[in-house]
Amino acid sequence: MDAESVNKVVLRLKSMEGLTWTEIGQSTGSHEIGTTDLVPQAQRRLREIKQDDVDRVYSLRIEGKPRLIGIRFGNVFRVLWWDPEHAICRSTKKHT
């Protein structure tokens, strides 16, 4: 992850401070993903890092394609992956 991407992520996360998960989803297009909907490589990686006991991960939209993929624990978001090409879970929508 380059410095420009890190800066974008930090600014985006700051813009979401104080929002509920519902507000984040509605205003950014962020959403949960069932782990069975992840690409096989991501499912394998969950097993490798011993996180395969979760049924869902959360795709936090940073902009256009770039996403942070993580696990929500109440109000805490634990980042698992930086997904700059929206490749962890392919979208069926155009331009995402």
Distance CA 36, CA 43 (A): 7
Average the pLDDT over 88-95 and give the result: 65
- Average pLDDT of span 35-63: 94
End-to-end CA distance of the chain: 19
The Cα–Cα gap between 67 and 64 comes to: 8
Give the model's pLDDT for residue 19: 93
At residue 94, the 3 state secondary structure works out as coil
Distance CA(63)–CA(55), nearest Å, equals 25
Section 45-54 average pLDDT: 94
**pTM attached to this predicted model:** 0.86
User: Do 21 and 72 contact (CB within 8 A), yes or no?
Assistant: yes
Check pLDDT > 60 for residue 94.
no
